[in-house]
Amino acid sequence: MRLFVALQLEDRMKDALIQFIDSVRPHTQEGRFSHRENLHLTLSFIGETGKAAQAKRALHQVQAEPFVISTAGVGRFRRSTGDILWAGIAKNAQLEALAQQVRQTLEQEGFKLEDRPFAAHLTLGREVLLEEGFELKTFSKNLPSVQMPVERVSLMKSERVNGRLVYTEVDFVVLNKNKP
């Protein structure tokens, strides 16, 4: 089972992201764009594992107060096969602390995670080739800043169903300011 820990997005944020994708798509030569139902913010990628019970146990050790995130700009990670197009998340100490806590609880349960710093972003497309001369920065105004409360963290399963990537929530924990 391929697992990751993520924040699921509210409809309002998904709507803004899909509108942005739709505005950029005509300026691409190719690319695989995220489907609305798959938009999320990954806190920690676990990968292929048979240890779902340990991942659930790690998730339920997470303790944090609810907070708010907001979108902030767009960019791309350059790859030889095409870029990863992303929407940024405004710098947020609570989000970074949550991601660090998720990582620590997973490692305490025996998971070996990628050794890469957390970079809060929302993947909009993979293997994207933009038209020659298209300036993504000038187009970033098409993505408004959208705020969203973060009130729960989800353990997600990634699988292919009839050739399509599907993300399914396996478990979740509600963030609660009453927790110690």
Eight-class DSSP state of 50: S
pLDDT digits (tens, 9 = 90+) for 147-160: 999 999 999 999 99
Most trustworthy range by pLDDT among 16-20, 141-145, 159-163:
16-20
Tell whether domain 2-174 is in CATH 3.90.1140.10: yes
pLDDT-wise least confident of 17-21, 94-98, 111-115, 148-152: 111-115
pLDDT digits (tens, 9 = 90+) for 119-133: 999 999 999 988 888
Mean pLDDT of the chain: 93
Active site residue 40: yes
Q: What pLDDT does 177 receive?
A: 61
Alpha carbons 180 and 176: distance in angstroms, whole number: 9
Q: Residue 148: which of 72, 68, 91 has the closest Cα?
A: 68
The pLDDT of residue 135 is above 90: no
Alpha carbons 16 and 7: distance in angstroms, whole number: 16
| pLDDT band for position 178 (cuts 50, 70, 90) | low
pTM (predicted TM-score): 0.91
pLDDT digits (tens, 9 = 90+) for 51-85: 999 999 999 999 999 999 999 999 989 888 889 99
